[in-house]
Structure 1
Amino acid sequence: MTQDGSNAKAFVLLSGGIDSAVCLQTALDRHDDVEAIHFDYGQQTEAIERSNAEEQASRAGIPVHISDYRTVFGDFAEGTIEDKSYDSDTTEREGHSVGYVPQRNLHLLTTAAATAEHNTETGREIVLYHGAQQGDGEEYPDCRPEFVQAATEAINRSTDQHEIDIETPIIDHTKADVLRLGEELGVNWELTFSCYNDEDGTPCGDCPACLERKEAFAEVDVADPVLRDR
């Protein structure tokens, strides 16, 4: 049973990064029945992200569903799914972050909801855990509370088999706050990856994602086992 006494089943959108790792541990603390969903949409760092997600799920003793989104996102490839290099001098393009992928979270949440329904008995409540955090909302419209509320309403209007909730436990957290919470929850940072560039699983240390990670670990005064040599 969950902490609130319900029989909800939780599904965590598990990217292999910091935010989703914290969401996974949060879900595991709150629910007895947890599964993970990982999306492969052609991102350059998919190999290490998937490896991390699978290892996190394995250590938690839960199944992970792999959703292949390459064909869908390949029709409008932008952001981290293009074969290009990112650095500290290239943080924006056409008015938004270089990591922007059009309609990404709307796609991922609706597919996660469908995956969850397919793997949950009729009538049980479903909770989707999505790792949007405060810094994301500044640049990505689909990481803001208004979007999450609208997505939740739309998803529930599309089904009469389950009640589906979208939980965003770190949406009001800065990246440093996310790290602090993760420290409390015992998250293994070695199994997280934040880089936009593909260097055979080694972070570049210079792209916007790496810089944000460096700043957050420095603020919290915690050693980063992934970027320690960068």
Structure 2
Amino acid sequence: MERAHTIVLCGGGVASLVAATLAQNDAQTATLRMTLLHADDGRENVGLRARHAKVQAQDLASARVHRIEMRHLLERSAALDPNRVPPESLLAPQLLIAAMSHALSYGADRVIWPVSGRGDAEASIAVTNTVLMIDGLARSYTKSPPAIETPLSDLKPEQVVRLGEQLGVDWTHAWSCLRKGRVPCGACQGCARRKASFEAAGLRDPLLAADAVLAV
């Protein structure tokens, strides 16, 4: 029996770690192959995110990381400013197209997009429209494209953290800081969002302790 193959968009952060772990737990590990697709978007923290993606893969059975070059996602000025990122409505379709392309090439069964919602209808509609658009493009190539799944899209960030806690993930293996230091800066948008998520979940983030920072 051929093993099922899952592609997970992996930024090396909290959501991708939770989504990949959830996918593994929901499947029979012996029959699952998993590729964590990591996009090099040119931001200054790309090296740390890539290394954490590799560590996440090591935590998962039968998983590997495939790194793709997508530095066109950021203009040069945005790459130099960690708090400047492209609008999600422009970024997500490009990442999903890349994931779908690799899924078709690998003969994968599904693509997992670990996007989490804000708990409002507008965000849910945006996710649904993006999925439908990429699925429609894929169907112009094949009648049965890989399924696109968004297991976290109905969850707020703090709910994603609670789910990860239930799954027993190692939070030191998820990197959120937009800077490139070995210890989270605590000042960028990535650190602020992570702090708010853990606080809203009523949990302590182990990555805040300097001695718990992953040695990469």
Whether TM exceeds 0.5 here: the answer is yes
Q: Which residue of 2 aligns with 1:221?
A: 202
SS at match of 1:43: coil
Which residue matches 1:38? 38
Any conservation in 2 of the 1:78–1:100 contact (CA below 8 Å)?
A: no
SS at 1:16 equivalent: coil
Which residue number corresponds to residue 16 of structure 1? 12
In the alignment, what sits opposite 2:166? Answer: 184
Where does 1:65-214 land on structure 2 (aligned, <5 Å)?
65-70=66-71, 72-73=72-73, 76-77=75-76, 79=78, 82-84=79-81, 86=83, 98-101=84-87, 103-120=90-107, 126-135=109-118, 144-160=127-143, 162-198=144-180, 200-214=181-195
- Under a length normalisation based on structure 2, what TM-score does the superposition of the two structures give? 0.82
**Which protein has the bigger helix share?**
2
Q: What is the alpha-carbon distance in structure 2 between the residues aligned to residue 192 and residue 39 of structure 1?
A: 15
SS of equivalent to 1:202: coil
Which SS does the other structure have where 2:184 is aligned? coil
* Conserved 8 A contact 1:47-1:201: no
TM-score w.r.t. the length of structure 1 is: 0.77
Which position in structure 2 is the counterpart of 1:92? none
Q: 1:142 to 1:65 in 2, by over 3 A?
A: farther
Label 1:137 to 1:189 Cα distance change in 2 as closer, same or farther (>3 A): farther
Extract structure 1 runs of 4+ deviating beyond 4 A.
Answer: 136-143
Gaps of 5+ in 1: 87-97
RMSD between aligned residues: 2.8
SS at match of 2:39: strand
User: Closer, same or farther in 2 for the Cα pair 1:55/1:137, shift >3 Å?
Assistant: farther
Whether the 8 Å contact between 1:16 and 1:49 is mirrored in structure 2 is yes
Contact 2:6 2:109 in 1 (8 A): yes
Q: How far apart, in 1, do the equivalents of 2:198 and 2:77 lie?
A: 28
Structure 2 unaligned regions, length at least 5: 211-216
Verify the 8 A CA contact 1:12 1:27 in the aligned structure 2.
no
Which residue of the partner structure matches residue 213 of structure 2?
none
Q: Give the fraction of aligned pairs with identical amino acids, expressed as a percent.
A: 25
SS in 2 for 1:206: coil
